[in-house]
Amino acid sequence: MLKTACTQFGAALAAAALSLSGVSAQELVRPSAANPQVRQYDDPNLVYAGAPSRNAPLVVFMPGTSGRSETAPRLLLDTIASQGYRVVFLTYNDMPAVAQVCPSRPPACSTRFRESRAFGGDGPPVATPAPEAIANRLGDLLRYLQRTHPDAGWSEYLDAEGRPAWPRIILSGLSQGAGMAAFMAQRYPVSRVVLFSSPWDVTGPDQRPAPWLFAASATPPARWWAERHIRENTTRLIANAYDALRIPRDHILLFDGGLPPGKSPDDGNPYHVSTVQLRQYVPQWRTMFGAANQ
């Protein structure tokens, strides 16, 4: 069992970094531990370190708006790890959401927004210092894990220049995090993309898909998987985005289950987050990610 690398973190939360399900060892790592230049958005990353083989691809899952490690979809992450993957729940600057900033702005807004959050940039519409950018946070975390656990094989996910080795990585996420996964997978040839209920970046009064969704993708269409719940508020917009991204129809799963206990259809958009929470979806999750040895 790995020791938690999360500094200045209470004993109770450190204990939560240990294996919850027996699937694999877990560790919490603050972004500022991996890179002291991180000044904001320092909620810990959650690392599932165990895997049957160091050759297993790494799944990087990014949460939606306001997502934090203490609210991570543990059942989903456990399920992914049980299929032979290493898994990182990667925190990032996820507030505000692109859907809160860009719909009333020019069509290029969502491109610039996601470019800044993914790779860094001064904006507008948002500014992201380089250490806070998603790609850099991931690279810093992987280098940190390689330094602190030199025999665990984390260097397998770094290229010769110490940056993320994208062909060894699966990008996934929920909501805004799924949009980030899609945006980055267009630019780098990742092993697989798994999108949960997003993106739905739109422009104009008729809510057309944002221009970036139609861009050529470095990751071939056959590696893209996605789902949407038929009753979530933005299901039509998500369907349009999946068409723009050219995701194969047989790689898009339609979820139609109920709600988690205590949730009501009147609670905002509850079907949206249910897609990464309910045990009934475990078979679909397994299909979307596949087995690590495939």
Q: For residue 287, what pLDDT band results from cuts at 50, 70 and 90?
A: very high
* Inter-residue contact 38 to 32 (CB < 8 Å): yes
pLDDT reported for residue 51: 66
pLDDT reported for residue 294: 65
CA–CA distance, 278 with 74 (Å, rounded to integer): 11
pLDDT reported for residue 146: 95
Arithmetic mean of pLDDT, 245-254: 98
Type of residue numbered 144: Y
> Is 280 a residue whose pLDDT tops 90?
yes
Arithmetic mean of pLDDT, 193-204: 97
pTM of the model: 0.91
Query: Which residue has better confidence, 279 or 267?
Result: 279
Query: Partners of 173 in the beta sheet?
Result: 62, 195
Q: For residue 137, what pLDDT band results from cuts at 50, 70 and 90?
A: very high
Cβ atoms within 10 A of the Cβ of 60, count?
27
Residues 86-114 have pLDDT tens digits of 999 999 999 999 999 998 899 999 999 99
CA–CA distance, 73 with 28 (Å, rounded to integer): 15
**Which has the closest alpha carbon to 94: 74, 69, 122?**
69
Arithmetic mean of pLDDT, 202-208: 93
Mean pLDDT of the chain: 90
pLDDT reported for residue 24: 53
Residues 52-73 have pLDDT tens digits of 677 789 999 999 999 999 999 9
> Is 47 a residue whose pLDDT tops 90?
yes
Q: For residue 13, what pLDDT band results from cuts at 50, 70 and 90?
A: very low
* Inter-residue contact 198 to 173 (CB < 8 Å): yes
pLDDT reported for residue 20: 35
Q: For residue 16, what pLDDT band results from cuts at 50, 70 and 90?
A: very low
Query: Partners of 193 in the beta sheet?
Result: 171, 224
Domains and CATH numbers, the chain: 11-107+140-289 (3.40.50.1820)
pLDDT reported for residue 291: 92
> Is 166 a residue whose pLDDT tops 50?
yes
Q: For residue 49, what pLDDT band results from cuts at 50, 70 and 90?
A: confident
In percent, how much of the chain has pLDDT > 90? 82
Q: For residue 235, what pLDDT band results from cuts at 50, 70 and 90?
A: very high
In which element (H, E) is residue 136 found? helix 134-148
Type of residue numbered 61: F
CA–CA distance, 186 with 168 (Å, rounded to integer): 15
Distance of CA 96 to the CA centre of its chain: 16
- Among the listed ranges 120-124, 242-246, 252-256, which one has the minimum average pLDDT value? 120-124
> HEC states along 265-289?
CCCCCHHHHHCCCCHHHHHHHHHHH
pLDDT reported for residue 52: 65
